[in-house]
Amino acid sequence: MTAAGVPCVLMRGGTSKGLYLLAEDLPDAAPARDDLLMRLLGTPDARQIDGLGGATPLTSKVAVVSRSAQPGADIDYLFLQVGVDEAVVSDRQNCGNLLAGVGQFAVERGLVPAGDPETEVRIRMVNSGSVALTRFPTPAGVVQYAGDTAIAGVPGTAAPVVLEFADTVGSATGRLLPTGSVQDVIDGTPVTCVDNGMPVVVASAESFGLSGHEPHSELAANQQLLARIDRLRIQAGALMGLGDVTTQSVPKTTLVAEPRDGGMLATRTFIPVRPHTAIGVLGAISAATAVRLPGAVGHDLTTSWPADGVRVDIEHPTGHLVIEVDVDPAAEPPTVRRSGVVRTARKLFDGMAFPRG
Ligand code: NQM
């Protein structure tokens, strides 16, 4: 007998891909919901051969969307990171990439009305409680995915999706500097642990014997490096108040270095242990926030940055991510006024998905 189908959209959001579902189409109880999502994506299995997952953390993601009851928000977006080879589903992080498709999904499912020529949707990111604003083209009230905006890591072009963030500080930990220090030393490695939308451990590539410009494949093949990253982030997670993060998707680790390609900061990011082919949106915002703070690891890399500038051009293994982060590093403690990014998204499939029985 075939299990009942679940209505869902498969969408690329930024440099990630995942299933977008209405909360009302999923079981209310988290264990039953997570079990269903794992059966839809084909988890646990390194190839996710019997499901819709793409066999990497960046393509094993879910957005659960509903109308919001919170004043100041139109819809609620719960992000769930679904394991690939491990049977885990985590709600402990945001995803700024899947976020890029949430507004369009909400319009197409009738949760919010479309404007003309564009629509703005205020999205409560349930994982952290903060509200993001998304703006995308809807000429004549119809979502337009095609456009001429290119983002690194995605072939071709698509319609621009503007994302603006506020109140991202302490998304998972409650504090911008969750260890209480701007710099800590873990196993002899200086780190800055930060949380401005994503808990991230920032370390210098040099302290790992790297240039920070290695291709993704070289990092992915370096088992010693990955084991060291894992040890570091497990200890950092405990220091950041996240408890035992052994099976959790946060904190991420970002290694920083001098830029080489006209950007402002070179990065190599691990999510949480596998290397990222690019860098996450909120991960980038957090890493850029960290290096702006005097005393932080990587602050020496920012000496040529404009003191009051908000635009940060971040180099990553497949190109650049340009973000905006407005930080007041002189405040005590340092404050973040706002941040933002331009992404694109594309609907790939809309229909019924059938979970493994
Ligand atoms: O940091 C990857 C991604 C992400 C998360 C990850 C993200 C973000 O590239 O906002 O988008 O850090 O696991 O999609």
Ligand 1 atom nearest to CA at 249: 13
CA gap 104, 203 in Å, rounded: 36
**Percent over 70 (pLDDT), the chain:** 99
Of 185, 223, 227, which is closest to residue 207 (Cα–Cα)? 185
Q: How does pLDDT run across 90-139, given as a tens digit for each residue?
A: 999 999 999 999 999 999 999 999 999 999 999 999 999 999 999 999 99
Query: What is the pTM for the complete model shown?
Result: 0.94
Alpha-carbon distance of 117 to 165, in angstroms, equals 22
- Count, in order, helices (H) and strands (E) of the chain: 5, 17
Nearest residue (by CA) to ligand 1, atom 2, is: 280
Cα–Cα distance measured from residue 174 to residue 157, given in angstroms and rounded to the nearest whole number:
37
Q: Which of 11, 15, 16 to mutate to test the pocket of ligand 1 (most atoms within 8 A of CB)?
A: 16
- What is the position in ligand 1's atom list of the atom closest to the CA of 285? 1
User: Do 308 and 207 touch, CB atoms closer than 8 A?
Assistant: no
CA of 98 to the centre of ligand 1 (A): 8
Q: Which helix (H) or strand (E) holds 37?
A: helix 30-41
Distance 285 CA to ligand 1 centre (A): 11
CA distance 55 to 52: 9
The 10s digit of each residue's pLDDT in 235-294 is 999 999 999 999 999 999 999 999 999 999 999 999 999 999 999 999 999 999 999 999
Q: Where does residue 306 rank: exposed (0-12), middle (13-18), buried (19+ CB within 10 A)? A: exposed
- Going from the Cα of 96 to the center of ligand 1, the distance in angstroms, rounded, reads 6
Nearest CA to ligand 1 atom 9: 280
Ligand 1 center to 208 CA (angstroms):
22
Adjacent-strand bridge partners of 21: 64
pLDDT for the residue numbered 333: 86
The CA 95 to ligand 1 mean position distance, Å, reads: 5
Q: How confident is the model at residue 3 (pLDDT cuts 50, 70, 90)?
A: confident
> 306 CB contacts (<8 Å, ≥6 apart)?
none
Pick the residue whose CA is nearest to atom 4 on ligand 1: 280
| CA 28 – ligand 1 centroid, Å | 25
Query: What letter would DSSP give residue 293?
Result: S
Strands (E), the chain: 6-13, 16-22, 61-67, 75-82, 89-90, 118-125, 130-137, 161-165, 184-186, 189-195, 199-204, 252-257, 265-270, 311-316, 319-328, 335-343, 345-353
pLDDT attached to residue 336: 94
Expressed in angstroms and rounded, the spacing between residue 14 Cα and the centre of ligand 1 is 9
* Residues having CB within 6 Å of any atom of ligand 1: 15-16, 57-58, 94-97, 198, 252, 271, 280-283
Say whether pLDDT at 321 is over 60.
yes
* Number of residues assigned to the chain: 357
Smallest Cα–Cα separation from 86: which of 251, 283, 249, 269? 249
The span from the CA of 357 to the CA of 348, in Å, is: 24
The residues facing 190 across adjacent strands are 185
Whether 308 has a pLDDT exceeding 90, the answer reads: no
Cα distances (Å, whole numbers) of residue 260 to 81, 256, 264: 32, 12, 9
- 141-191 pLDDT, tens digit per residue, is 999 999 999 999 999 999 999 999 999 999 999 999 999 999 999 999 999
Nearest C-alpha neighbor of 261 from the set 193, 345, 319:
319
Between CA 216 and CA 110 the distance in angstroms is: 40
SS3 content of the chain, % helix, strand, coil (to 5): 20, 35, 45
